[in-house]
Amino acid sequence: MNRVQRRFRGLPLRSRLALLVTVAVALAVAAAAVTCWFVVRNALMDSLDDALSSNRPKPGDVVQRIDIDPVAGGARCLREIPGRDNPDLYNQTIQVVAENGTNCIILGRQSIKVSDADTEVAARERSATYHNTTAANGEKYRVYTYPLDDPQLSLAVSVARPLSEVDDTLDNLALILLVVAGVGVLGAGAAGLWVARTGLRPVDRLTEAVEHVARTEDLNLRIPVGGDDEIARLSESFNSMTASLASSRDLQQQLIADAGHELRTPLTSLRTNIELLARSEETGRAIPPDDRKALLASVTAQMTELAVLIGDLQELSRPDTGAGGAKVQVVALHDVTRTAIERARLRGPELTITAELAPWYVRVEPLALERAIVNILDNAVKFSPRGGTVEVTLDRGRLTVRDHGPGIPEDELPHVFDRFWRSPSARSLPGSGLGLSIVARTVRQSGGEVTLTAAEGGGTVATVQLPGAAAPPPETPTT
């Protein structure tokens, strides 16, 4: 059985489908043929039984054709009586059966074998019986035996006709059914192969498309979609997959290009400063102390900027953990925000940062959430004027950070969460242009929303809405 299964699985899919269709049709045709054969057989046997019961002779005719010899317990059929009608004119045999098993033929040429059922009918132990038996020449007969209507005689009359009347018809029917079934199975096999080829043609196109993409890496290939069946859904899924892959590759290439552009500036400046310092050492021309100090400060700042940029790129390149990931846990948003505010105060000691934080608990990745809030506060600190105020509030999961800086022009607001996007007015300030992209990604992964809008009276308002609850969930008891 396992060998048959392995061979079946080794066949091409269209061959397996055609074979399955053929087998299914063969089984259906076989079941229909067998059912038809048995129905016809039962109908023919019923018809033959009706003919036997309707052609039985009258009791007086039977008595006239036999000699009666009384014996103890009944009567016995002794011999055939000559002078009966020409049996060749009849297609049946009639014989008289005594309860002791003796018999004599009153019509026909072949003696029919007497069975126990016949003697039981003769002895009045059974009313009548139908059964199959054989004649003296070995031919099969259908027999109807009934008691003779004379209570003084323990005799029965058997009316028999050859079963060939039924068997010949059934043999012809079986031959016809066999031919029809064979033609049907062959037709089913051909139809199954055609259906398999037709049905799998879209799969062939999909296979060719996948092989083309694997060979050429052309993600712009699309498969025509027609209808709404499973194949159409598969084609739509493939088109969606290639479109997503193409978009992901474009974004990746754009990220690489943007990262290269952003890295080029600090690297160029860093290389220039280092070359100046190296040339000073090679030529022996000392750089004035103030200029050397400025060069070293510039190198340090550029290295810091490179480190921040590389860290942001690593953050954006991390795979999404998603809800339910291993690093996701219940976090007190108010505590994370308070920690981020303390770090922001160190970056802008001349600023006043006010905070009104109501308790709120969320399911997030703690480090990613803290980094996102720090990025929001860093932007607020960076764009706030000296001595300004940054207002932070948290109410029912809605975190707002408002600064009183120059604000963001209306036409630039749609781009603030794009990677490497920086406002023309902020290009002179330190930063990679990835901070808000990281914020947007983290908030979306946590099931929340983030917006950046202009504040009334000047400045900018950053709003983060995260789902959660005002109380922590109950701890699961350990067992």
* pLDDT (tens digit per residue) in 40-82: 999 999 998 888 888 777 776 676 666 665 544 444 444 444 4
77: domain range? 57-162
CA distance 107 to 110: 9
Shared domain check, 354 and 336: yes
Residues in the chain: 479
Q: Would residue 289 count as lying in a domain? A: yes
In sequence order, what are the beta bridge partners of 450? 464
DSSP assignment of 397-440 equals TEEEEE--SS---GGGGGGTTSTT---GGGTTSS--S-HHHHHH
Angle between helices 333-347 and 366-383 (to 10 degrees): 40
Q: For the CA atoms of 323, 324, 325, 331, what is the dihedral angle to 10 degrees? A: 80
Does residue 334 sit in the same domain as residue 456? Answer: yes
Residue with token string 């069975």: 115
- CATH number, domain with residue 307: 1.10.287.130
What residues pair up with 453 in beta bridges, in sequence order? 461
- Per-residue pLDDT band at 4 (split at 50, 70, 90): low
Are residues 243 and 310 both part of a single domain? Answer: yes
**278 and 346 together in one domain:** no
Under 8 Å between Cβ of 134 and 159:
no
User: Over the stretch 155-176, which tens digit does the pLDDT of each residue have?
Assistant: 888 899 898 888 888 999 999 9
CB neighbour burial string for 199-208, b if at least 16 within 10 angstroms, e if fewer:
ebebeeebee
Co-location of 239 and 273 in the same domain: yes
Task: Report the C-alpha dihedral over residues 465, 466, 470, 471, rounded to 10 degrees.
Answer: -170
Say yes or no: 340 and 430 in one domain. yes
Identify whether 211 is part of a domain: no
Q: Do residues 292 and 196 both lie within one domain?
A: no
113 touches 88 (CB < 8 A): no
Any domain includes 141: yes
Residue 475 lies in a domain: no
Kindly report the backbone phi and psi dihedral angles of residue 78, in degrees, each rounded to the nearest multiple of 5, phi listed first: -95, -45
**Residue 437 near residue 419, CB atoms below 8 Å:** yes
pLDDT on residue 357: 92
The verdict on residue 476 lying in a domain is no
Q: 31 and 123 in one domain?
A: no
- What would the pLDDT profile of 24-38 be if each residue is shown by its tens digit? 888 888 898 899 999
Average pLDDT over residues 88-115: 78
pLDDT score for 401: 92
pLDDT confidence of residue 72: 43
Over the chain, what is the mean pLDDT? 78
Instruction: Assess whether pLDDT exceeds 60 at residue 84.
Output: no
In a domain, 7, yes or no: yes
Task: Give me the pLDDT at residue 77, please.
Answer: 47
Domain count, the chain: 4
Please report whether residue 135 resides in a domain: yes
Which of 203, 222, 254 terminates a domain? The answer is 203
Q: Locate tokens 């109807």: which residue? A: 144
Tell the residue number behind the tokens 């079941």, with chain if given. Answer: 31
Mark whether 404 and 371 lie in a shared domain: yes
Angular region, 420: left φ>0, alpha ψ -120 to 50, beta rest: left
Q: Give the model's pLDDT for residue 113.
A: 87
Q: What is the structure's pLDDT at 24?
A: 84
Q: For residue 224, tell me if it sits in a domain.
A: no
292 and 396 share one domain: no
What pLDDT digit, counting tens, does each position of 373-411 carry? 888 888 888 888 888 899 999 999 899 999 988 887 777
CATH of the domain at 82: 3.30.450
Under DSSP, is residue 72 helix (H, G, I), strand (E, B) or coil?
coil
Express each pLDDT in 327-346 by its tens digit.
788 999 999 999 989 888 87
**Structure tokens belonging to residue 370:** 């803290």
Whole-number Å distance between alpha carbons of 187 and 185: 5
Last residue of a domain, one of 317, 337, 368: 317
pLDDT for 326: 45
pLDDT value for 2: 62
Domain end point (choices 285, 317, 349)? 317
pTM: 0.45
In DSSP terms, 402 is beta-bridged to 391, 461
Neighbours of 402 (CB within 10 A): 22
Q: Quick one: pLDDT at residue 349?
A: 78
The domain spanning residue 425 has which CATH number?
Answer: 3.30.565.10
Residues 131 and 180 in one domain: no
How big is the CA angle at 161 (ends 159 and 166), to the nearest 5 degrees? Answer: 140
Integer-rounded Cα Rg, in Å, for the chain is: 51
Q: How many CB atoms lie within 10 A of CB 157?
A: 23
Please, are residues 399 and 393 in contact by the beta-carbon 8 Å criterion?
yes
Same domain, 270 and 336: no
